[in-house]
Amino acid sequence: MNVRCFVASAAAVWVVRVALNWSFYTKVVGTQAEQISVAHPGMFRQVVPAYILTDLLFALLFAYLFVKVGAAFGGGGAMAGVKLGLLVAILSPVLGSLYQYFSVTYMPIRLAATEGVFQVIAHAIEGAAVGVIYRAQTAHSAQAAGAR
């Protein structure tokens, strides 16, 4: 594994993930989440630095997974990243949202469905980002090695 390529890819996923999560959870479902929070005081925590660090952990693990299995999803480029992102989205946040919906009374089905759709789209975009950046960095490293 080329560490420089890995770090660049993980950083790209991290930035994309933070931007997507901020946009979705503040602009798209923020009002609805606020209404749920008001109706159920003390149920939610808002620790933004922890969210950002958790996104970094996801980015590192996702990039690592991509490096290890990206070729199996079609050559390791953007489409391989999209496929991996879709698989990860369905296995984790989408199923997690369903569990949450069936576990608590304050989660309306519309919010669970909206979040599921967002997670599928976001993970596909994150997958494309890791695929594009990793492939570009790998090509650049190979070109630099050939120039020596």
Give the span between the Cα atoms of 48 and 43, in whole angstroms.
Answer: 16
- Is 147 a member of any domain? no
- Total domains in the fold of the chain: 1
pLDDT in tens, 23-75: 999 999 999 989 988 998 888 888 899 999 999 999 999 999 999 999 999 88
For residue 147, the one-letter residue type is A
The pLDDT assigned to 140 comes to 84
What is the residue range of 12's domain? 3-142
Six token digits for residue 94: 């989408």
Instruction: Classify residue 91: in a domain, yes or no.
Output: yes
Averaged pLDDT, 84-107: 91
CA atoms 95, 67, 52, 32: torsion sign:
negative
pLDDT band at 123, cuts 50/70/90?
very high
The pLDDT of residue 73: 93
What local confidence, expressed as pLDDT, does residue 146 receive? 78
